[in-house]
Structure 1
Amino acid sequence: MSTRTESEPNHGRRFVLAPNIAPDWRQTMLIFAGISTVCLGIGVVCAWFGLWPILPFAGIEVTALGWALYKSARRSLDREVIHVVDNAVVVEKGCGRVEERFEMDRTWTDVQLRRRSRRWDETQLLLRSRDRSLVIGAFLDADERRSLERALRACIGPMARWGDARPVTATESNAPERSWTPGLTANVGEKSG
């Protein structure tokens, strides 16, 4: 996976996520041409000496190789671009071009890294805002997801974690600390009557 983080001119940040697939389209075509020439050349030589059934299998092999290389090269065009600008988080997903675009309120967006229950040691990175949830970085490995989570938490959603059932501590209080449990009307030690 390759990740680029850039500062945008209007005081925002941009995260570009892409799978780490080494050869580009030109290199893929050169690899395909080289392997196809050798494979079909051997098939033609065998057919010349009377072993013609080898030629159709060589053709099937070259077709399967071409399909696999095409799928791999196409996957190398996958991109997820996360723009964190002003009061918005914009996520654009696509293969070679923007196919999906999601916009969320930056203040109320939360970044969550959660474990998937059915997969051993696999995590899922989510952006959650109000009633929407969006999976990002599905092609990242676990360490890359943790790194991206830390980077996104640094610039997204300071208000998103309010009201999530974590205990709230008082910062300024002269009163003695008392606990409150929903449903109880009397303080501990008092008899209700």
Structure 2
Amino acid sequence: MYASLCVVSLGIAGFFWWQGATLVMPFVWLELLVVGAAFSVYARHATDGERIVLQGEQLLVELENAGHLERAEFNRQWVRVEPKSGDGSLIEVSGQGRSVRVGRHVRPELRPALAREIRRALRGCNG
């Protein structure tokens, strides 16, 4: 898509440059550079996300941000999930001396529901 944008913009700019409007070409190059930088920044964060998986006795939390993957495993019997309902801040999952904050990609008013869902899933595995 970016290549087609470059071809069209450079084609139009080339036409006007050929007609004598020589200042068009530098501005098109500047435009394509800025748009390319914006696409690059977007591409770095396009796969950002959080993954929370409960597998048997382990709670696995994976956070991906700009290509950096942070992974934490917790024994589900020792996990604490905070804050309590009503608070719109990030949810802290902690246990065994480690902690991670989740909920960046969830609207603040829905974070308490996510915390309740995690707690319910952890309790549900007890039997």
Alignment of 1:72 onto 2:42 = yes
5+ long unaligned stretches in structure 1: 1-29, 115-120, 159-193
Query: How does 1:84-99 map onto structure 2 within 5 Å?
Result: 84-94=54-64, 99=69
Q: Which residue of 2 aligns with 1:124?
A: 90
Higher helix share: 2
Q: How far apart, CA to CA, are the structure 2 residues paired with 1:41 and 1:122?
A: 50
RMSD of aligned residue pairs (Cα, Å)? 2.7
- Summarize the Cα distance change of 1:90–1:43 in structure 2 as closer, same or farther, 3 Å threshold: same
The amino acid across from 1:131 in the alignment is G
- Summarize the Cα distance change of 1:147–1:44 in structure 2 as closer, same or farther, 3 Å threshold: farther
Which digits, 9 at most, give the CA deviation of each residue in 1:74-120, with x for residues without a partner?
31212322121222111123369783221112112111137xxxxxx
5+ long unaligned stretches in structure 2: none
Check whether the contact 1:110–1:157 (CA below 8 A) recurs between aligned residues. Answer: no
- Summarize the Cα distance change of 1:89–1:72 in structure 2 as closer, same or farther, 3 Å threshold: same
Choose 1 or 2 for highest CA Rg. 1
Alignment of 1:37 onto 2:3 = no
Q: Which residue of 1 aligns with 2:105?
A: 139
Q: How far apart, CA to CA, are the structure 1 residues paired with 2:79 and 2:37?
A: 40
SS of the aligned residue for 2:114 comes to helix
Q: How far apart, CA to CA, are the structure 2 residues paired with 1:149 and 1:91?
A: 13
Displacement of 1:124: 1.1
Q: Which residue of 1 aligns with 2:70?
A: 100
Check whether the contact 1:79–1:96 (CA below 8 A) recurs between aligned residues. Answer: no
Q: Count residues with an aligned counterpart.
A: 122
- TM-score after normalising by structure 1: 0.53
SS of the aligned residue for 1:89 comes to strand
Displacement of 1:153: 1.3
- Runs of 4+ off more than 4 Å: 95-98
Alignment of 1:152 onto 2:123 = no
